[in-house]
Amino acid sequence: MEADFVIVGSGSAGSALAARLSEDGKNSVIVIEYGGSDAGPFIRMPAALSYPMNMGMYDWGYSSEPEPNLGNRRLAAPRGKVIGGSSSINGMVFVRGHAEDFNHWSEMGATGWSYADVLPYFKRMETSHQHGGIGGEAGWRGTDGPLNVRRGELKNPLFKAFIEAGRQAGFGVTEDYNGRRQEGFGEMEQTIHDGRRWSAADAYLKPALKRQNVNLVKGLARRVVIENHRATGVEIEVRGRVQVIRARREVVLAASAFNSPKLLMLSGIGPAEHLAAHGIQVVADRPGVGSNLQDHLELYIQQASTRPVTLNAHLNLFSKALIGAQWLFLGKGLGTSNQFEAAAFVRSAAGVKYPDIQFHFLPGAIRYDGKAAAAGHGFQAHVGPMRSPSRGTVRLRSDDPKAAPEIRFNYMSREEDWRDFRHCIRLTREIFGQQAFDEWRGEEISPGSRVQSDEDLNAFIRDHAESAYHPCGTCRMGRADDPMAVVDPETRVIGVEGLRVADSSLFPRITNGNLNGPSIMTGEKAADHILGRTPLAPSNLEPWINPDWETTDRLVETA
């Protein structure tokens, strides 16, 4: 059990790493994954997305510690425990992030990770399908990468009503939020191909496993084996037996924003006092390990529909069975979409340079976990701020590798969090109040028209805000002399040889939108660093920034 590279985690970044590190045939790769097969219908069928993240068979089952600013609620924190990791249980929404997100990374010390640097990797990794054509916005989108990205068919009239409402409210429309211009209302993109979920495992890992130099090992990673400050392997447990998989060249952790810092700490890399408290010998005192935890919170703003066009008509058992049969036998129907087909990225105020609010629109009134459907018909927008200043931690519960980590998001710990969320609710009401929704709009279901004051809105936020499941930042990338950085811009763990981290935990700051896309890009780019290759040539394309961003949160239309 030995390879040149040993990767822990078969998720978004780990799958990309496995494929790129092995593609020239010169290096052997072993991928360690604790979870099992991704073959089940609940994973494969896009419309069934609420199931796998609530199934212990596919999900680690983590939850936060009681969140003091959210009424001491424990919030679900799912991560994929299956081939393909979280890309096999997520909502299949594809967002690259805004150009300024990556420019900010570079300014924080992640040199070589500006938007000009990462755009070539986003292009390399995807094939963009847009309504029958391939390529999308010329120059900005990939045409021959392994990750298939598509748009929905927008058959439900409410999708177009939402986009038109955004235009009527003055926010403008973007033809491709993953292209030159993110800001505005437009069609949402999905990692779905031929009516089925297209995970990182489908795109990268399964093709790579056909090579003789790639192997998948099922086991629980317990710790990184470090000898003389060099990672030499990974200790795993398989059916009660502990063994070591040796790495001739490097170990790469791609185990999630929860499990990557957990593994570092179990291996003696982290805050020295915390490690000592658990009886773990300190190999490298890195106080940033497990710090800087970030996530996106969101709310569902729900509106009754006066006409029976919504998904709520399909929530009975007979309709679900019919949808499943259509999908399984014909590859058609509602089952082939995640039903997130319209989106928006807007700015909350004049003086905000680029979008800091995201909308997912759903032509139904139902929770993300598939529960608590509204009586009758309804539609909803998932909305939340993108760049909360609140920061949390991941810490060890004990030195037992089987123990879940202690996850404290510290949500809503700053006054601007509350201000921004109140604005999100009021803005959603403004969108739903536009003429485009006149023929559909009934009463507001949630929070309800009586909830208007700051105090009442705060209470609604406290009781109902939920994670969008975008954890990141816990092994922050930065300059090698930055005491809170965990990895350098080459993704090397500072203070230990032969060890890297490449997943969403290295994000210095959370990106706009869903994190699957940036996580895969991280694996793509890290592979070039690991192999010592010259990175892809930076792009010279200029992203769109609203020319009136300093004076308005809207779009000043010119003739």
Question: Is 16 annotated to bind ligand?
Answer: yes
Question: Is 30 annotated to bind ligand?
Answer: yes
Length of the chain: 559
Question: Is 478 annotated to bind ligand?
Answer: no
500 bridge partner residues: 252, 492
Q: Is 48 left (phi over 0), alpha (psi -120 to 50) or beta?
A: alpha
Place of tokens 């998720």: 11
Question: Is 526 annotated to bind ligand?
Answer: no
Question: Is 118 annotated to bind ligand?
Answer: no
Our measurement of the distance from residue 532's CA atom to the centroid of its chain's CA atoms, rounded to an integer in Å, reads 27
Question: Is 8 annotated to bind ligand?
Answer: yes
Contacts with 452 (C-beta within 8 Å, 6 or more apart), sequence order: none
Contacts with 309 (C-beta within 8 Å, 6 or more apart), sequence order: 156, 157, 158, 363, 377, 440
Question: Is 477 annotated to bind ligand?
Answer: no
Contacts with 3 (C-beta within 8 Å, 6 or more apart), sequence order: 27, 28, 29, 30, 215, 245, 246, 247, 248
The residues that are catalytic are 470
Question: Is 309 annotated to bind ligand?
Answer: no
Question: Is 93 annotated to bind ligand?
Answer: yes
Question: Is 92 annotated to bind ligand?
Answer: yes
For residue 536, with 0-12 CB atoms within 10 Å meaning exposed, 13-18 middle and 19 or more buried, which class applies? middle
For residues 323, 325, 330 and 334, what is the CA-based torsion angle, rounded to 10 degrees? 10
Question: Is 18 annotated to bind ligand?
Answer: yes
Instruction: List the structure tokens of 232.
Output: 């030499």
Cis peptide bond prior to 78, omega within 30° of 0: no
Question: Is 33 annotated to bind ligand?
Answer: yes
Question: Is 91 annotated to bind ligand?
Answer: yes
Question: Is 40 annotated to bind ligand?
Answer: no
Question: Is 53 annotated to bind ligand?
Answer: no
Question: Is 332 annotated to bind ligand?
Answer: no
Question: Is 366 annotated to bind ligand?
Answer: no
For residues 311, 317, 318 and 322, what is the CA-based torsion angle, rounded to 10 degrees? 70
Question: CA dist 550 to 153, 389, 545, 553, 555, Å?
Answer: 36, 21, 11, 8, 11
User: Could you tell me whether strands 297-305 and 441-446 are parallel, antiparallel, or unpaired per DSSP bridges?
Assistant: antiparallel
Question: Is 19 annotated to bind ligand?
Answer: yes
For the annotated binding site for FAD, the residues are 4-33, 82, 90-93
For the annotated binding site, the residues are 4-33, 82, 90-93
